[in-house]
Amino acid sequence: MSTIVVVGAQWGDEGKGKVVDCLSARADMVVRFNGGANAGHTIVVAREEYVLHLVPSGAVREGAACVIGNGCVVDAGLLLDEYDDLRRRGIDLADRLFVSGFAHLVLPHHKAADGALEDSSSSPIGTTRRGIGPAYCDKYARYGVRVEDLLDAKDLRAKLEAAYAYRARWTGAGVYPPMEEVYGQLTEAGKRLAPFIVDTSLLINGYIAEGKNVLFEGAQGSLLDVDFGTYPFVTSSNPVAPFAAIGSGVGLDQLDYALGVVKAYLTRVGEGPFPTELSNSTGEYLRERGYEYGRSTGRPRRCGWLDLVPLRLAARVNGLHGAVVSKLDVLDELAEIPVCTAYRLREKIFNEMPLPVSLLAEAEPIYETLPGWKTDTSGITSWDDLPKKAQAYLRFIEEGCGVPVAGISVGQRRDQIIWLEEVF
């Protein structure tokens, strides 16, 4: 038996979907434990591309059970659209999709509130406008509607009435879609989703007890964590490895290995500090060569050099045992590759993230420049065949964050990954 937690170690978009898909070949179950449809995990099989927002990335592999855990927020309509799209493409999840009854629903008024907050704010976060933040707000205010409420029409109506009354107290009653319309949509969605709604904690723990391999899939990235990220420019959940236990209902002693996915350079979507951001032709080069556009929104990603300072934070709060460095091939043509090792800030040197975190906006990166390898790595399948300078770059990352490199991704396809360690 083995359990692995895969998380993003940066600001998201590190390539978690591909890593989870590759590991799913040996997994009996894949569990999403946080976030919602603000995720966009991309998997390329042959020439076929799949972009998954809610369904776990193990869906594209035959056999693995796919679980949406209690730590997620679920847009019922979007989940059904994703299910139907996969079925049209030959992937039938009828017997292997499971949704926690304790997960909360993302409702139309959450999306309306999300957009309104972004439009009216003098300092917008840059959310996906998919209602994730407001859904989590209602969860913790105890006015949320849970997936299990879809199983009881009477209870669903009562929960919706309470949720609408709560929202109307501070936004006005006429702002959101009519409740009866939403109730009708949810009752129809509930009929289709009912076979998938279970106590997923019981199911997951059963798999673990039977000695099966379980893979936990985080969404977003550690630097977007609502507690440890660059607050307030963060997501609304905890995309760090310890939350896999809470967001799926297993004990901490059941988590064996934390694997962080680290992009070979750095990107960010939305607002917030980004000390190594490149607002020049090099940043544009990274964006185009790496196809750095959001899979949920289509927004261009901000691009910059790798930054070891927040990566140390990610290594610490996740308890990372290993890392997969993704998109190494994007750097293949560069003659030199700067890496940020520390910050200069108010006449002091910071090797760790400053407090308050708002000071990050003033941080001046201190770079160490490594030589590029000027060699195509996209077809390389072993460590020994990598250029020596590429090996040196990877070792520099290991030493800089204290986490061994377990794998290297050199392209989008499943076969374009070099494993240095057998994590399953």
For residue 169, is pLDDT > 90? no
Question: Is 90 annotated as contributing to ligand binding?
Answer: no
Q: What is the pLDDT of residue 152?
A: 95
Query: What three-state secondary structure class fits 242?
Result: coil
How far is it, in rounded angstroms, from Cα 412 to Cα 40? 14
Catalytic one of 21, 28, 41, 138: 41
Q: Which residue has the tokens 């490594």?
A: 370
User: Catalytic annotation on 415?
Assistant: no
Question: Is 12 annotated as contributing to ligand binding?
Answer: yes
Residue-wise pLDDT for 99-135, tens only, equals: 999 999 999 989 888 777 777 777 777 787 888 999 9
How far is it, in rounded angstroms, from Cα 389 to Cα 183? 59
Question: Is 120 annotated as contributing to ligand binding?
Answer: no
Q: What is the pLDDT of residue 26?
A: 95
Q: What is the pLDDT of residue 298?
A: 81
Question: Is 13 annotated as contributing to ligand binding?
Answer: yes
* Section 258-285 average pLDDT: 97
Question: Is 389 annotated as contributing to ligand binding?
Answer: no
pTM of the model: 0.95
Helices (H), 172-307: 179-193, 200-209, 243-246, 281-289
- What are the structural domains of the chain? 3-102+196-259 (3.40.440.10), 104-194 (1.10.300.10), 262-419 (3.90.170.10)
Per-residue tokens: 401:
């964050």
For residue 177, is pLDDT > 90? no
Per-residue tokens: 22:
């590759």
Q: What is the pLDDT of residue 296?
A: 67
Question: Is 61 annotated as contributing to ligand binding?
Answer: no
Question: Is 5 annotated as contributing to ligand binding?
Answer: no
Question: Is 263 annotated as contributing to ligand binding?
Answer: no
Predicted confidence band of residue 1 (pLDDT cuts 50, 70, 90)? low
Question: Is 40 annotated as contributing to ligand binding?
Answer: yes
Other CB atoms within 10 Å distance of the CB of residue 124? 13
Higher pLDDT: 204 or 117? It is: 204
What is the average pLDDT value for the chain, to the nearest integer?
94
User: Catalytic annotation on 41?
Assistant: yes
Per-residue tokens: 343:
């910050």
The answer to whether the CB of 160 falls within 8 A of the CB of 183 is yes
Catalytic one of 13, 21, 28, 149: 13
* CB environment 53-72: b (16+ within 10 A), e (fewer): bbbbbbbbbeebbbbbbbbb
Question: Is 24 annotated as contributing to ligand binding?
Answer: no
Question: Is 39 annotated as contributing to ligand binding?
Answer: yes
Q: Is 301 left (phi over 0), alpha (psi -120 to 50) or beta?
A: beta
Question: Is 142 annotated as contributing to ligand binding?
Answer: yes
Outline where DSSP puts E strands in 271-329: 302-304, 322-326
Q: What is the pLDDT of residue 297?
A: 73
Catalytic one of 110, 139, 263, 321: 139
Helix 108-120 crosses helix 179-193 at what angle (to 10 degrees)? Answer: 120
Residue-wise pLDDT for 344-378, tens only, equals: 999 999 999 999 999 999 999 999 999 999 999 99
Query: What three-state secondary structure class fits 322?
Result: strand
Question: Is 298 annotated as contributing to ligand binding?
Answer: yes
Question: Is 294 annotated as contributing to ligand binding?
Answer: no
Q: What is the pLDDT of residue 29?
A: 98
Other CB atoms within 10 Å distance of the CB of residue 312? 17
User: Catalytic annotation on 109?
Assistant: no
Residue-wise pLDDT for 295-332, tens only, equals: 767 889 999 999 999 999 999 999 999 999 999 999 99
